[in-house]
Amino acid sequence: MTDYLLIESRDPFVDNETAYLYALAADLRRAWNTVTVFLVQNGVLPARPGRASTGLTALAGAGVQVRADRFSLRERGIDEGKLVAGVLAEDIGLVIDRLAAGSKTFWH
């Protein structure tokens, strides 16, 4: 089992390629890997309840850890207490810790 960190900085409202990162995360998880999707910059936008959040809730339901950068949430006026189910706010230190631990990382 391998530990993967997938960082998403784009939002699905502008970039349809976010679906590929979500699909990659789900595929890696189905292969019994530990997978974390870390949302940063505009990648946090679908963490709000709405039609665009279905991909994130599906990932969380499949066992993928979905985390949203606290700073990015604050910068966009998103209350971390109102994130969709399965998405938790986290500090950017998570990325540093995972990189230091040797997680395989992909930044989109």
**CATH number of residue 7's parent domain:** 3.40.1260.10
- pLDDT, tens digit (0-9, with 9 covering 90-100), for 56-103: 999 999 999 999 999 999 999 999 999 999 999 999 999 999 999 999
1 falls in which pLDDT band (50, 70, 90)? confident
φ, ψ at 70 (rounded to 5°): -60, -45
Residue-level pLDDT at 74: 97
Nearest in space to 42 (alpha carbons), one of 83, 71, 4: 71
Residue-level pLDDT at 15: 72
Residue-level pLDDT at 17: 86
Q: How high does pLDDT run on average in the chain?
A: 94
Asked whether the beta carbons of 31 and 61 are under 8 A apart, the reply is: no
CA dihedral 36, 90, 7, 51 (to 10 degrees): 90
Domain that includes residue 72, residue range: 3-107
pTM score: 0.94
Residue-level pLDDT at 3: 95
Residue-level pLDDT at 32: 96
Residue-level pLDDT at 77: 96
Q: Number of folded domains in the chain?
A: 1
Residue-level pLDDT at 52: 85
